[in-house]
Amino acid sequence: MTDYSEIIRRICGSRTEISDIRSVSGGDINEAFLIALSDGSRVFLKENTRENADFFKAEMTGISAIRKTGAVRVPVILDTGIVENRSYLMMEYLDSAPRKRDYWERFGRQMAAMHRADPSEWTPGGNYGFPEDNYIGAGRQVNDVHTRWIDFFRDCRLEVQFRRAGAFFDAAGRKAAQRLLDHLDRYLTEPAHPSLLHGDLWSGNFVTGPEGYACLIDPAVYAGHAEADLAMTELFGGFAPAFYDAYREENEILPGYSDRRDLYNLYHLLNHLNLFGGSYYGSVMRIVSRFC
């Protein structure tokens, strides 16, 4: 096990010692640990190979961007770097309290507020993307800045994933995918303004914090159309109805969203196809065939 004693003393105080380290669940990508400290506090640690240090830098930047909106809680990042040839990300450990009665309503309003926040610090001039690439799961997410949302989604989301997934498609499938890309603006709409997105907003990427309300984790942040975040919430079963009701009270969702939702989720299904294999091919092609 990597020795984090010096790092803990640097960020938590010279008299702080590590009392215990134990492995905890942290997803499929990283090793994760709960560190108990001599002052009674606890720290959450993610660890990976030295070569994956950029993964943690991107996560830190994404969490910082969400925090600056002031809309929804995210963990406090304590440190990131490389030690003993291992990359790491250290953050506050969030004790989980029972969910408050208005948990889902508050979460919906928080996400609506985040989507209304001005992302121009990251993409000036009303543009779409992010200053740097980051990661969607284990896959690299391209964030080249574009002036139009539909162009961004075509070039940096669908086209990138279709190219990576080329081996899964026969000639007919490739032609269908190209027809979809060529006519994407028939189906998608330009938003009134770019929104800062979590980017990977499914049930595994938020936790209940010590106040009994939602806290976002593991972002894949960029400036985009708010509908893309909402779509992801529905890909694997959806959130509670109260979340969507509260969101709609704050932010208008325009007609036709249910069709656009499937195109936005095509990106995530393609990413899963590339990461996890052919079991996602049928879901991908059902959407491609519907719109091409």
Residues recognised as catalytic: 200
- For residue 92, give the 3-state DSSP assignment: strand
| Nearest of 199, 61, 75, 203 to residue 139 by alpha carbon | 199
The dihedral through the CA atoms of 77, 78, 79, 84 has a sign that is negative
Tokens of 264: 């936005």
* Contact call for residues 112 and 246 (beta carbons, < 8 A): yes
| Nearest of 71, 74, 105, 106 to residue 196 by alpha carbon | 71
Per the DSSP assignment, residues forming a β-bridge with 90 are 45, 79
Cβ-based neighbours of 166, under 8 Å, separated by 6 or more: 174
Query: Quick one: DSSP state of residue 280?
Result: G
In whole angstroms, what is the distance from residue 160 CA to residue 26 CA?
A: 27
